[in-house]
Structure 1
């Protein structure tokens, strides 16, 4: 699937509240989407969760799945959901029939560290226990063959991310790509990003997408000229770096892989400018920049 290379929705959903009575009745009569096929790998910037209920589950009600105390979906027997999280510690669990007060999200959920690039197959425990039941891939994919995607609810889990799938090369190519954005054109006098700055950030990401490069890590570093005090230059360069970092995240780069630091005026590319203040500012302009270093893994498009 060509759309899997970047921003793929976590859940295909319809929100019952606010829909017509006919639409609500239709969704309620068939809350499922397509059948489970095969799990794909995610990159090192995410962990993938496949949560499901067996089709022969004895309890007829819904099992509300929570991620970090926010509702993901309500799994019915024979339903599954797929979502991704940033690597690290998260709380996760499923509660049978805790509507309408949804008390499960305020209780202590199962907490675990999710590893980068891993896929977790988790099954709802039908005996009333709320922690997920880890299942091996071979067992899960057999049981998932009888399930369909749960699509009737909108996920409220703010820490659930769109999964980014890649078709990895047998011998993947790792590389580092360096970019530079001029601060004079990227930011206005008030410190806000200009259209030129937004276009520069978009051009970086568009170029990486064209070669199907998986972003592993991004280091954003702000630089100023030597005019002004050291503390002011350090702060200004940090503001520029933070602005570019925000722009990258707004365009879909996971915030967990982007760092922003300041080099102040310690790494000049243009030295010894003379003349009036305006002449020096013009001469020193190449120093006022934001360096963007991107570590990537080159992959094949699906």
Structure 2
């Protein structure tokens, strides 16, 4: 990859001049921020907005983001920005190719009332003439997990505030249940060698990254095939097994809890024959290790 001067790129994006040179460095985490992690909650005095642009939005030009007609950020494909505003009515817009006059500031096509204590997920919609597309939590987290933060652009939006989080930030590590266990299995003797290796690697990563292990939640998720009560029990059994292996790997037992979401938090929807559903539902079968990072 061609190397670019980080300070020069920061100047370019701060001025709205997000160039192809900046885009070429989009995968450089030191320049453009870390990969997305689930955001924490905000107090009732704030509303939080996660605005993102997927890699499927074609074009090398930046999408300029405006809040109440003022510049907030510039997003290339595969980037997101997170910010807070006071509760109430605000306008949002995301415009491509509106330089050099930045007329997007005058064309705010979307206004809504944002409630305090809530987080809103919106994405760039290139076909909506600047109007963002609001999406639900499940879709947003599925799309955001491969995106990187836009960390080097200076917001000029006076409505934007620093978020005052009410919960500790967390990091999620998802382990595929299909890697850990055979279909429908959950016990210690059912876990595969590949699954044990995945858990060992996760323990090594947590120790290497120096993450503060104040609280770790192990959450079992299942697909929607079968009865809800059975899935809830299966998710709990799998979470219990993974928790036990994490403890045996040296993580502190007192800080580890296990719970089940059953099939209540699926990330994909499937249809077809039973065999087709089992294959399609693989992303739903997972165990998430959620680590409090502060």
TM-score normalised by length of structure 2 = 0.48
Specify which structure has the bigger relative contact order, considering alpha-carbon pairs within 8 angstroms and separated by 6 or more residues: 1
